[in-house]
Structure 1
Amino acid sequence: MHVAKSGLRALGIAESYSGREQSTLAGVVMRKDLRIDGAAFARVTVGGSDATDAVVRIFNRLARRDINLLMISGSVIAWYNIIDPAAVQDATDLPVIVTTYEESGGLAEEIRRHFPDDDARLAAYRRLGDRTPVRLHSGYTLFIRSYGLSIEDAARLCNDFTREGRMPEPVRVARLIARGIVRSSGSAPDDHDR
């Protein structure tokens, strides 16, 4: 992938957690010039283990060959439903950048407390590894995990897709759409793209 390419497209995926049995994921296809040209939705089980499948489902439903990378807002969503970015990369054959926005001492103790007998969930969390801080041109620090491309290229793409603040536009817009769906209907559409 040529990261400087002006027509590059990212699929940004973000969640709106509503505290119910299911949470809403929205995916937004955005060009590097910040033009949106696609969206899809999925549900994930709160406290479940289906987040990775939901991300891949969004990608597959779009049926787009012009998406160059995925940007995912967080790997631990919907009350410890853990996305496996390496599995997403394998399933989509695209690089994946996971973005988070605050320093953290980690979630291992919280996972142990809430899911004391779930060794697989704890192992999935530990496989995520460390995050790398990236200083954005906006002055904010973003924390990323990169799969399938170098940290340097991932940092450049995060900067290219960030207009202001700390959140790259594909995931910022996906989060806004997911929140709008939850507020207007109380749940996601029936997992169809719109």
Structure 2
Amino acid sequence: MQTFSYAIGFDDAPFQRHQGNVRVVGVVYNGLRLEGVLSGQVRQDGRNSTPVLTELVRRSKFYPSLRLVLLQGIALAGFNVVDIRALSDNLGLPVLVVLRRKPNLPSIEAALRKVRGGQRKWALIQKAGPVEAVAGVYVQRAGLTLEQAERVIRRLAVHSRLPEPLRAAHLIAGGLATGQSRARP
């Protein structure tokens, strides 16, 4: 049975609306113990999130131990949509997108009509599969079952509904960007 003991959670830092790069933070956990932090940058509303995350993970000393990638939402830096199936294939690891609230997909699709490359980005969201309710959150997944996703969330969501790697990534990214973190991811 897969335990997903080593997991990395990614979140982006708060950012102002501008054309440029946004910091992304990855936090590595072994069970409930913080093991390390990675950081990089993706283009706001861009198309480079999948290759950037792939390289951040591949080049890290943690890659050989990792068993799971967690994302807080399918997009980083606005509408820089992660291709979770390609990320999973590139790394040979399952990818689990975790959302606190069910997304309003019709509103997202409408917003993407106004964004450069929006049709391609909407296709990536659809390719990620349905948004499913599990363990008090919503998920999209690549490379793991819904039952495995539920076990991961129940095991790693200690101080909120979000797994600790995502909660920590949110706090660290916020602290780096603004000088202090906000308590609730």
TM-score when normalising by structure 1: 0.84
Are the equivalent residues in 1 in contact too, given 2:112–2:119 (CA < 8 A)? no
Shift of 1:105: 2.3
Match of 2:8 in 1: 11
Q: Which stretch of structure 1 is more off in the superposition, 150-159 or 17-26?
A: 17-26
Shift of 1:126: 2.3
AA in 2 matched with 1:157: V
Shift of 1:86: 0.6
State percent identity of aligned pairs: 25
Are the equivalent residues in 2 in contact too, given 1:41–1:58 (CA < 8 A)? yes
Are positions 1:170 and 2:158 aligned together?
A: no
RMSD over aligned Cα atoms: 1.8
Give the Cα–Cα distance (whole angstroms) in 1 for the partners of residues 89 and 61 of structure 2.
Answer: 16
Shift of 1:38: 1.3
Between the two proteins, the alignment pairs up a number of residues equal to: 175
Are the equivalent residues in 2 in contact too, given 1:39–1:62 (CA < 8 A)? no
**Structure 1 SS opposite 2:46:** coil
Q: Relative CO higher for 1 or 2, CA cutoff 8 Å, sep ≥ 6?
A: 1
Match of 2:26 in 1: 27
Match of 1:56 in 2: 54
Where in structure 2 are the equivalents of 1:1-194 lying within 5 Å? 2-3=2-3, 8-19=5-16, 20=18, 21-32=20-31, 34-64=32-62, 65-106=64-105, 107-115=108-116, 118-135=118-135, 141-184=136-179
Shift of 1:35: 0.8
Give the Cα–Cα distance (whole angstroms) in 2 for the partners of residues 118 and 74 of structure 1.
Answer: 17
Structure 1 residues 15-69: Cα deviation after superposition (integer angstroms, max 9, x where no partner): 113124211110111011x111111101010011011112112212313211111
Indicate how the Cα distance of structure 1 residues 176 and 86 shifts in structure 2: closer, same or farther if over 3 A, else same: same
**Structure 2 SS opposite 1:113:** coil
Shift of 1:110: 1.0
Structure 1 residues 87-134: Cα deviation after superposition (integer angstroms, max 9, x where no partner): 11111101111111112221111101334x643223222222211111
**Structure 2 SS opposite 1:174:** helix
Moved over 4 A (4+): none
Are the equivalent residues in 2 in contact too, given 1:73–1:99 (CA < 8 A)? yes
TM-score when normalising by structure 2: 0.87
AA in 2 matched with 1:25: V
Give the Cα–Cα distance (whole angstroms) in 1 for the partners of residues 154 and 49 of structure 2.
Answer: 26
- List alignment gaps of at least 5 residues for structure 1: 136-140, 185-194
Indicate how the Cα distance of structure 1 residues 182 and 112 shifts in structure 2: closer, same or farther if over 3 A, else same: same
